[in-house]
Amino acid sequence: MDKLEFDRFLTDLDCDGALVETRAAAETTLSRRSLVGASLAGAAAIQLGRASGAAAAGGLSASDISILNYALVLEYLQAAFYTEAERNGALSGKAAQAATVVGATERAHVKAFRKLLGSEAVKQPVFDFQGTSEQQQAFLKTAVALEDLAVAAYKGQAPKLQSNAVLAAAVGIHSVEARHAAWMRELFGITPAVHAFDQPASRAQVTRLVASTKFIVTKPRVQGRGNPNFTG
């Protein structure tokens, strides 16, 4: 991926200015590859976002394509969750506002990753959020879990990214996810930042956690009083 392609990718992702804000710092510290990565679990059917094709998208390595697809599944999961919550209309006040803002950001991430990956992008799974998008406290609790997991998952793949351009973009995406996590934690009534240093999560750890939610399904069914529009 050349500089022009990277600039376009950055523009697509930069919904709240976080990428512009962090890009300069990222580009001067690219040797610190432990900063962040792009990762998350998919589902059994899509094998955790691992693309089957070996051809590189935009000149990216097969390894980076795999990591980007891993991140794409995370963004699919988050975007679908917030979109469903918005469509259900069960949220109010600050929670409703947060769902709208964060949902738009996650959908922008999906769009940008799919554009970057092209034909190598994994397909979106079907999600059933088990009624968690239909009640405000359940929504906030789930949002905290998803955002905390995203932060740890992004960080977990940092040392494996080979493209400096992708790493620089990933730094900005990671910071956005961290802001989301802090926002949702505050709305849920828990401390936004507890520890001085966050720990990364491996693919295996994230896979187990996502599988345990049963959010990724083959045939969705409605839980609770709403009538969600399932994504997939």
pLDDT digits 0-9 by tens, 129-186: 999 999 999 999 999 999 999 999 999 987 789 998 888 888 788 899 999 999 999 9
- Beta pairing class for 126-127 and 216-217: antiparallel
Tokens 């803002």 locate to: 101
Contacts 24+ apart (CB under 8 A), 89-92: 89/226, 90/133, 90/134, 90/135, 90/136, 90/139, 90/225, 90/226, 91/136, 91/139, 92/136
Cβ neighbours around 54 below 10 Å, total: 8
As a whole number, mean pLDDT of residues 1-19 equals 48
What pLDDT score does 221 carry? 60
Tokens 């051809």 locate to: 55
What pLDDT score does 11 carry? 52
Which residues are 127's β-sheet partners? Answer: 216
Query: Please, which residues have CB within 8 angstroms of residue 35's CB and are 6 or more apart in sequence?
Result: 26, 29, 155, 158, 167, 170, 171, 174
C-alpha 140: how far from its chain's center? 16
The pLDDT tens digits of the residues spanning 189-221 come to 999 988 888 889 998 898 889 889 999 998 756
More confident residue, 137 or 16: 137
Alpha carbons 7 and 55: distance in angstroms, whole number: 22
Which residues are 126's β-sheet partners? Answer: 217
What pLDDT score does 95 carry? 97
